[in-house]
């Protein structure tokens, strides 16, 4: 028996970029802003593409973060159009294809202090839709029963997002692990899938899940589509949620499962009309305030961003000024603000919908963020690359020191600091990276 599953995740419906965005443009007048609408269009594209697959899939799983809010930094409900889009697309897909859909709850779109879920209204409205919420997880844990759904000869075990701090503060770590090992154990004769929203970085991806013998593990929370292990994949986000995702391929996965065989994974990617740039500029690139504006104008021309307004191709741009940059001084800041006003005003000859910038200065301790996606965006995007670049700026390093080993030590120390010092930095902990 072969089962085909479409795996999507992290659609973040209702995302509303606000900083440095042109204020005079709508996707649908008085309903959705331009960049917000990109997420709705991508969601519809996901399910339109899945509906057209040949051979068809037997099930669609969504591994969390259907909506963008509520979240830690935005306690409001998703916009009305986000909820309308989820309902209309999912209902239309299931009625057209007859293919069931399963959605689990992630850390976005989650009411942390309430025993209600935004997914409940979808569950009541769509007959072929199953959902697994944080309330369902707490109930299953309390009753010591599985949280799973069965589709013919396939069993799907659900692991909605659960904060590691909540488990620890409630003294439930042992009980939660026991629930995984007993209630969530698949039958050896049946095909089994685990749908999980979690990451190693914030301790929400529980190691026990990988010892259970699932035929496929559909992961969410990490926005980069990639293979985690032999039978576990992250589908990634479907739209560029952060600027540091500008180079990621976005799409969904199709997993073909047969008992006794590793899953056959087929990535499906989208082509984007709207460019997203995350350009880094060093001190040498910046120069004076006037020369900075001149360089940016030349770069916009080179990239085809100077020209008539086109809402489908208007670019999103973030500039990252690194080092002891002049952009931090008052003249440069004023110049950038004036330049952005010029670029973003109605009728300007710039096809740009968003322009923001940030300065990364050396020797400043970054603040802690609650979730790995925040750290990835605002803290360090590529620690190995950044530290290598830092070493290149130093003069007179003793030749006895291996830059590769120094980089390895620094990256390992950063990872351990994120995990709040649970281990000591020793040769043994360094070797745990397998030479990476």
Q: Over its length of 436 residues, how does the chain's per-residue pLDDT go in tens digits?
A: 899 999 999 999 999 999 999 989 999 999 999 999 999 999 999 999 999 999 999 999 999 999 999 998 889 999 999 999 999 999 999 999 999 999 999 999 999 889 999 999 999 999 999 999 999 999 999 999 999 999 999 999 999 999 998 898 889 999 999 999 999 999 999 999 999 999 999 999 999 999 999 999 999 999 999 999 999 999 999 999 999 999 999 999 999 999 999 999 999 999 999 999 999 987 667 778 888 899 999 999 999 999 999 999 999 999 998 876 566 666 778 889 999 999 999 999 999 999 999 887 665 544 444 344 444 443 445 666 667 666 666 656 666 667 777 777 777 666 655 444 445 555 545 544 444 4
The token pair at 310 is 């086109």
Same domain for 119 and 252? yes
CATH classification at residue 57: 3.60.21.10
Residue 372 lies in a domain: no
Same domain for 299 and 341? yes
Same domain for 35 and 63? yes
The token pair at 427 is 């040769």
E runs forming strands in 161-229 = 191-197, 216-220, 226-229
Burial 365-388 (b: 16+ CB within 10 A, else e): eeeebebbbbbbbbbbbebeebbb
CATH classification at residue 332: 3.40.50
Residue 99 lies in a domain: yes
C-alpha dihedral sign at 221, 227, 233, 237 = positive
The total of structural domains in the chain comes to: 3
Same domain for 88 and 201? yes
Q: What is the pTM of this model?
A: 0.83
Same domain for 281 and 220? no
Residue 377 lies in a domain: no
CB of 21 closer than 8 Å to CB of 354: yes
Residue 376 lies in a domain: no
- Locate all alpha helices (DSSP H) within 184-329, ordered by sequence: 283-286, 289-302
Same domain for 334 and 424? no
């Amino acid at each position: 028996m072969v089962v085909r599953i479409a795996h999507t995740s992290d659609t973040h419906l209702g995302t509303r970029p606000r900083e440095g965005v042109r204020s005079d443009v709508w996707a649908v007048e008085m309903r959705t802003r331009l960049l917000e609408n990109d997420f709705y269009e991508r969601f519809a594209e996901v399910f339109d593409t899945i509906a057209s697959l040949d051979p068809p899939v037997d099930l669609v799983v969504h591994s969390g973060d259907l909506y963008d809010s509520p979240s830690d930094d935005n306690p409001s409900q998703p916009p009305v159009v986000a909820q309308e889009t989820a309902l209309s697309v999912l209902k239309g897909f299931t009625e057209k294809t007859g293919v069931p859909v399963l959605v689990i709850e992630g850390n976005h779109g989650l009411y942390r202090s309430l025993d209600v879920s935004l997914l409940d209204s979808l569950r009541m409205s769509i007959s072929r839709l199953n959902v697994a919420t944080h309330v369902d997880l707490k109930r299953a844990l309390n009753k010591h029963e599985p949280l799973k759904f069965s589709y013919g000869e396939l069993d799907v075990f659900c692991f909605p997002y659960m904060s590691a701090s909540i488990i620890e503060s409630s003294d439930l770590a042992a009980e939660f692990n026991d629930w995984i090992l007993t209630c969530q154990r698949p039958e050896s004769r049946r095909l089994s899938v685990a749908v999980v929203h979690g990451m190693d970085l914030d301790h929400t991806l529980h190691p026990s899940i990988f010892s259970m013998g699932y035929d496929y593990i559909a992961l969410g929370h990490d926005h980069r589509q990639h293979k985690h292990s032999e039978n576990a994949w992250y589908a990634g986000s479907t739209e560029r949620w952060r600027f540091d995702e500008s180079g990621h391929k976005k799409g969904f996965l199709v997993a073909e499962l047969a008992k006794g065989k590793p899953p056959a994974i087929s990535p499906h990617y989208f082509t984007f009309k709207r460019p997203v740039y995350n350009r880094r500029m060093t001190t040498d690139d910046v120069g004076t305030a006037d020369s900075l504006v001149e360089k940016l104008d030349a770069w916009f021309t080179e990239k085809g961003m100077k020209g008539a307004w086109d809402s489908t191709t208007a670019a999103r741009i973030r500039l990252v000024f690194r080092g002891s940059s002049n952009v931090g001084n008052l003249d440069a800041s004023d110049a950038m603000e004036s330049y952005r006003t010029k670029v973003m005003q109605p009728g300007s000859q710039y096809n740009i919908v968003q322009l923001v910038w940030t300065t990364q200065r050396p020797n400043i301790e970054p603040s802690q963020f609650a979730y790995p996606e925040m750290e990835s965006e605002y803290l360090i995007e590529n620690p190995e690359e950044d530290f290598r670049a830092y070493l290149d700026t130093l003069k007179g390093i003793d030749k006895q020191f291996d830059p590769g080993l120094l980089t390895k030590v620094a990256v390992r120390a950063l990872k351990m600091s994120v995990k709040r010092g649970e281990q000591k930095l020793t040769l043994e902990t360094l070797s745990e990276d397998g030479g990476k």
